[in-house]
Amino acid sequence: MKILVTEEISPKGLDLLRKNGFTADVRLKMPKEEFLKVLPPYEAIITRSGTPVDKEVLDAGTSLKIVARAGVGVDNVDINYATKKGIVVVNVPAGNTISAAEHTIGLLVGTCRNIPAASMNLKSGEWDRKKYMGAELNGKTLGIIGFGRVGSHVGKIALAFDMDLLVYDPYIPEKKVLDIGGERARLVKNLDELLRGSDVITVHTPLTGETRNILAKKEISGMKDGVKLINCARGGIINEKDWLDALNSGKVSGAGCDVWTEEPPESDWMRKLINHPMMVVTPHIGANTSEAQTKVGVTAAEQIIKFAQGDIPDTALNMAMFSPGLLEKLRGFIPLCEILGNFAIQLSDKNPDTLEVEYRGEIADVEDLSLLTSNVIKGIFSQISDMEINMVNAKLAAAEKGLMVKESKTDQSTTYKNKITVRLVSGGSSRTVAGTLFGEKPKIVGMRDFDVDFAPAGHILIASYPDRPGIIGKIGTLLGENNINIESMSLGNKSKIKEALVAFNLNREVPEKMQAEIAKAVGASFIKLVKV
C-alpha cells in the first residue's frame, strides 16, 4: 500500500508502516494544485488538521481507500462524501487524553498560584512576594463538566491534590464517578448544583448545540464568588464575553484557557480577555507533547495496517461492513432505531447505566442486528458527542460512557409485524419506548406499558396523569391560550389503575414553565417535551 503523509507525524509511526511493508512518502506543505496532481497513485492519506480533505481531493484520489486523521477532530475531512466514495475515515480519539488532562491541571495550578504573572514579574527585575498571594487546591471542590476520557483523568489527578469532585454529565452512570473517586466524588443531577458547590470549574465536553455557551452570564451568576474557571476542551463552551465581564467584576477570580472561538484570536474583545491580568492562556497546545504526538502517529499507522490486513479499524468513523442484501432488509429500521434512542434519552432522567434493545417479530430472524443497535446508541449520543457513531465504534462509545448494552431477539408474534423496544435503565428507574414501521414511516407504538400510536416528528408533549374526565380538554385549553396548536394526539390508558398517558404532536415548543403549569393543573405525574 502506498501512503501519502501530508503533515508531520511521529517517526515511530512512519517506522511502523515501513516495517510492515508499506511505502510512506512524506510531502509536507504542498500547494493544493501539487497535492491533487501527486495524489492519484496513493491508497491512503495520513493528515492532521492543516490539510483539507474535501470533495476535490477525494475525487482526485482515484486509488484512495482510507484517510487517517492523526488526532481527534475531523473537521477538515468531508466524511459524508468519503462515505459515498467508499473511502474509510479513521481518527485517533484517545491519543491526547493524558496530555490534555495534564495541561488542564497545569492551567489550574498556574491560575491558583499566579505562576505566569509572578514569573514575568521576576524576569522584569522586580521582587514582589506579597503581590502574588495564591490559593491551595487541597480541600477545595473541583467541578467537572463532562466526565469522558479527559474529564475523568482530570478527576483522578485532582484527587491526588486532596480535592473533592462534583461531576455533571447527564450521560454517564453514577458508578463511573464512584469507581474513580469513591466518597470524594459525587455525580450531580443538575448543573446548578455543581455551579453552587464548586471552588474551581473545568469543562470537558465536545462543542455541540447542547454545550455551546453552557456557561454564560446566568450560569456564572450562580457560581461562588471568586470561582476559578478552566477551559481546555473547545472554544465556545464558555461564553467568552460573559467570561470577560465576570473577570472584570471579580466574580471569577482567575481563569485558564487553551481553546478559543477565534483561532488565532483577532477581535478586540477577545484580545481583552486574553490580556486580562487574571487570565492564564495558551495557544491550543493541550495535545502538544512529544508523547501525545507519538501516540497519535503510531495509532494512525496501526489503523491503516489493520485496514490493509482486512480487519475493521477500531476508530473508523464511516465504515459499515454489511452485505447489500442485509442493508436492504434493515434500511427502513435504521432511522427508526436512531429516533428511538434519541426519544428514550430525552424521556429519561439521564445518567443511564444500561441500554436494553429488544427486536420482536420478523426482524428477529435477521442474524446480525448490530447496525440497528448502533443506531440506537447513535440516537442516544447525538446531542452530546462530536464523534460520528457507527457499527464499528458505537459500543466503544457506550463503554466509554459506562453504558452497558444488552440486545435480545424474539420471533413471538405481536400486534405488529415488527416491533423494536428500547429501554434505558438508570438506577432503579427506567424509560421505555417502542416503535415500528408503517410502510416506510416510523411510528411510536409503545411507552412504558401503554399502547400509543403517533409519528415521532417535531415537538411532542408527553404527559401521564390520573385518568378522569376533562383532562385532555384542560391541557388543550392551556396550550391554545399560549398559541400552541395540537396537530395530532395519541391516548393510552390503563383501566385497572386509572392512569392515562397522552402524546401531543404540537406546532411549536412548550416552555418548561408552561410544562410545570400544565402538570400542576392536571395533577400529572410526568410531563416532558421531546424534540425529534
pLDDT in tens, 67-89: 999 988 787 899 888 887 878 99
pLDDT at 342 over 90: yes
- Whether 320 shows a pLDDT value over 60: the answer reads no
112-121, 346-355, 380-389, 501-510: the lowest-pLDDT one:
380-389
Instruction: Select the more confidently predicted residue: 330 or 159.
Output: 159
At residue 3, φ and ψ (nearest 5 deg) are -120, 130
Which three cell numbers, joined as nine digits, stand for 462? 408527553
Dist. CA 287–CA 307, nearest whole Å: 26
pLDDT at 469 over 60: yes
In this prediction, residue 95 carries a pLDDT of 84
> Which of the pair, 80 or 273, is modelled with greater confidence?
273
Pairing of strands 526-531, 459-466: antiparallel
Pick the CATH number of 323-417 from 3.40.190.10, 3.30.300.90, 3.30.1330.90, 3.30.565.10: 3.30.1330.90
Q: Are the C-beta atoms of residues 42 and 21 closer than 8 Å to each other?
A: no
448-532 adopts what CATH topology?
Alpha-Beta Plaits (3.30.70)
How many CB atoms are closer than 10 A to CB 83?
A: 17
Nearest to 166 by CA among 136, 146, 199, 142: 142
State pLDDT tens for residues 4-28: 999 989 999 999 999 999 999 999 9
Identify the pLDDT of residue 370.
86
| Domain positions in the chain | 2-95+291-308, 97-281, 323-417, 448-532
pLDDT mean over 245-274: 93
Domain 2-95+291-308 sits in CATH at 3.40.50.720
On the question of pLDDT at 100 being above 70, the answer is yes
- Among 147-151, 273-277, 400-404, 455-459, the minimum mean pLDDT is found in 400-404
Closest CA to 148 of 348, 353, 343, 384: 384
Tell me: pLDDT of 304 over 60: yes
Q: How many CB atoms lie within 10 A of CB 481?
A: 9
Task: Please report the pLDDT score of residue 385 as a whole number.
Answer: 62
Same fold, 2-95+291-308 and 97-281: yes
Predicted local distance difference test score (pLDDT) of residue 495:
61
Q: Give 97-281's CATH code, choosing from 3.40.309.10, 3.40.50.720, 3.30.200.20, 1.10.260.40.
A: 3.40.50.720
pLDDT at 229 over 90: yes
Assigned C-alpha cell, 374: 448502533
pLDDT-derived band at 384 (thresholds 50, 70, 90) equals: low
Task: List C-alpha distances in Å: 418 to 441, 450, 451, 456.
Answer: 13, 17, 15, 17
Q: Determine the Cα–Cα distance for residues 157 and 162; give it in Å rounded to an integer.
A: 9
Residue matched to cell numbers 488542564? 104
Ranking 129-143, 242-256, 370-384 by mean pLDDT, the lowest is: 370-384
Q: How confident is the model at residue 498 (pLDDT cuts 50, 70, 90)?
A: confident
Question: The C-alpha cell of 452 is what?
Answer: 400509543
**Which residues are annotated as catalytic?**
234, 263, 284
Look at residue 223 in the predicted model and tell me its pLDDT. 97
pLDDT at 493: 75
Q: Give the separation between CA 383 and CA 341, rounded to whole angstroms.
A: 11
Banded pLDDT at 154 (limits 50, 70, 90) = very high
